[in-house]
Amino acid sequence: MYEQNLGDSELSLDSALSMGVHESQSLFWERHIGKSRAFYEWAQPILVEAFNTDDNKFEYSAEELYAAVNAVDFNNLIRVEADELTYPLHVILRYNIERDVVAGKLDVADIPARWNADMKSLLDIDVPDDTTGCLQDIHWSCLAIGYFPTYLLGSMMAAQLAHYCKVAIPDMDDKIKAGEFDEIRNWLTARVHTHGKRYKSLDDLLLAEVGEELNPQYFLDYLKEKYVPLYKVE
């Protein structure tokens, strides 16, 4: 796959878009279901029953669990451990670096210094060493050039699908609160899973199934609607 990507820019774009679809499915369930307020209204009594003992009092409310799961850590060096609000900056950092390397504007030997400077600029984090810096991912060492943006494409598509899923299932939050996920899964199956490789790209799939190509505004709106109330910012 990666050898083909490096030799054919059109194939590389199609592959990236296809991986964006793949990524969107895990993120749909992880974020828009598993990190939703409605999910913790359903899960809270289950967690209490599982973890509350005489020696360990598990007395957290659904709102407290929701806030904890969606906490933002502005000091996290590691991409795979980053929260969903700061995670896009980790992807943007990597994309900018690999774009400049491929374009011949940045030498490989200069990646550590560029990485550290960009972490400071984007996230205000000082990188102590290359292990927690530019060597933390395996992608570049296995020639997965252009792979990182698929994570962000998946985030955007997941938010867009969640929007249209709620349009199709107006009581979606009530179903999540009740632990009823079948209708949501069936909607995804009809819109995404059943088509396999029928569509050439992520945009073609979205256009055919929800009526518009990838629109990042849904992702931006999702982040604002979640984190502005959580952190009580204007």
Report, at the CATH architecture level, how domain 2-35+70-231 is classified: Orthogonal Bundle (1.10)
Please report the pLDDT score of residue 9 as a whole number. Answer: 43
Is 156's pLDDT higher than 80?
A: yes
Burial of 181 (0-12, 13-18, 19+ CB in 10 A): middle
Please report the pLDDT score of residue 68 as a whole number. Answer: 96
Which of 75, 82, 87, 69 lies closest to 156 in space, CA to CA?
A: 87
Q: Say which residue, 212 or 3, is predicted with more confidence.
A: 212
For the chain, give every domain's residue range.
2-35+70-231
Mean pLDDT score of the chain: 92
Please report the pLDDT score of residue 17 as a whole number. Answer: 61
Which of 35, 123, 136, 128 lies closest to 76 in space, CA to CA?
A: 123
**pLDDT tens digit sequence for 8-65:** 444 455 555 678 999 999 999 999 999 999 999 999 999 999 998 888 889 899 999 9
Contacts 24+ apart (CB under 8 A), 49-58: none
Please state the pTM of the whole predicted model: 0.90
**pLDDT tens digit sequence for 158-178:** 999 999 999 999 999 999 999
Is 6's pLDDT higher than 70?
A: no
